[in-house]
Structure 1
Amino acid sequence: MKQRRLNKSQSTASFFDLVETDSGWIGLEVTGQGVRRVTLPAHNRDAVLAEFGIEEKDITHDAGGAGLADRLKHFFMGEPVVFQEGLDLSGATTFQQEVYEAACRIPFGETRSYGELAKAIGKPGSARAVGQALGANPIPILIPCHRVVAADGGMGGFSGGINTKKKLLEMEKSGKKNPSV
């Protein structure tokens, strides 16, 4: 499997795109360093534009490349997808970058606990800090923070809400699209 490029240096200008999936509209922010930000599905384009603080005229179609748009569409149809796009993590701390790299190694349809992720990065006992790092994840889905759960099997937290996290995990486990994510 190709190693994912995680760029940690300062980024350049941003380009924006919107992708329509079975679950709604997703926004992409891409720099010369890689994907900087991804939104979770919204019911309409305007919600994504508002989340990014941009206008329709700011959209650069295929900012993330047609391949990324296609992979996102397939992901929300419940298909196993491996995202290998470069990621612009210039705004993340070193600890966050370590957590994100570990989360990217969790396969489609599987979960790990916050504690397991903490051990994977060599910091056992830092499960709470791992959760906080994942809560700040600017690139959900590509950095699959929804695949990290509590040690007792509970959902833990998720920036898009617990119901969205449950639906994403159910979709991955069943292989069936879930348009209500």
Structure 2
Amino acid sequence: MKIQQETQLFQAVVDLPLGKIGVRTEAGKIAELCYLPPHFDAKAPQDAVAEIAVHQLRRYCDDADYVFDLPLCTVGTPFQQRVWDAIRSIPRGSVRTYGELASHLGSVPRAVGQACGANWFPVVIPCHRVTAATGLGGFSRSDDPNGYLLGIKRWLLAHEGSSEYAWQQTTLL
């Protein structure tokens, strides 16, 4: 019963090579994209905006150079939006550390990490391109005991052509 209730939160649940993503829409825009644990069942799009999102997510999985053009709700604080804009500027196949982004933004790594964690539109705002100075970092939560989120991050970085060596040899924006 709980899984069915959780699935009802989304207008679509798409099963992709990286894992499952829930699509929540509101007033003709994408309100949230959410990485979901493997136990979620796929759910066909329930509205036109969810259908567009599912189509674009699939296109991205077929082509890492695909550029998203989704109507996104405006969310986040001004600082979070600055961080997300900086993340969007990281080219495919590249990564930056939390510290590098923080330095670029005149902030601190922890604040950048919190803004990454507050990203309502993962993949579209590619927070997977931000890593810890010592490795992958991020994408870890207490409610992810099996590590599906880190698996998603690894898939996304590999899909975009990042190598493990490159993750540790980054330069500032």
TM-score by length of 1: 0.66
- Judged with a 3 Å threshold, the aligned counterparts in structure 2 of structure 1 residues 24 and 164 are, in CA distance, closer, same or farther, namely closer
Task: Give yes or no for contact 1:89–1:97 (8 Å, CA) kept in 2.
Answer: no
Match of 1:63 in 2: 49
- In structure 2, the partner of 1:93 is 77
One-letter identity of the residue aligned with 2:61 = F
Match of 2:154 among 161, 166, 170: 166
CA distance, structure 2, for counterparts of residue 81 and residue 75 of structure 1:
5
Tell me how far apart the structure 1 counterparts of residues 160 and 34 of structure 2 sit (CA, whole Å): 18
Q: Distance in 2 between matches of 1:19 and 1:110?
A: 26
After TM superposition, list the pairs within 5 Å mapping 1:75-154 onto structure 2. Answer: 75-90=60-75, 92-120=76-104, 122-124=105-107, 126-152=108-134, 154=135
Which residues in structure 2 correspond to 1:1-20 (within 5 Å)? 16-20=11-15
* Cα distance, 1:38 vs structure 2: 0.6
Pair 1:156-2:140 in alignment: no
Match of 2:58 among 56, 73, 80: 73
Does structure 2 retain, via aligned residues, the 8 Å contact 1:81–1:108?
no
**How far did residue 78 of structure 1 move?**
4.9
**DSSP 3-state at the match of 1:76:** helix
**Identity over aligned residues, as a percent?**
36
SS in 2 for 1:79: coil
d(CA) in 1 for partners of 2:84, 2:128? 12
Per-residue deviation, residues 12-60 of structure 1 (Å, max 9, x unmatched): xx982233433444221122373221122554654x77xxxxxx9xx62
Note the aligned Cα RMSD (angstroms): 2.9
CA distance in structure 1 between the aligned counterparts of 2:56 and 2:37, rounded to whole angstroms: 17
Query: How many residues matched?
Result: 147
The amino acid that maps onto 1:158 is F
Cα 1:77–1:29 change in 2 (3 A) is same
- Where 1:37 maps in the other structure, the secondary structure is strand
Structure 2 gaps of 5+ residues are 1-8, 141-147, 163-173
Q: Could you say if the C-alpha distance between residues 151 and 22 of structure 1 is closer, same or farther in structure 2, counting changes exceeding 3 Å?
A: closer
Deviations 1:139-170 (A, max 9, x none): 11111110001234x11211563332122111
- How far apart are 1:87 and its partner, in Å? 2.2
Look up the equivalent residue of 1:170 and give its one-letter code. A
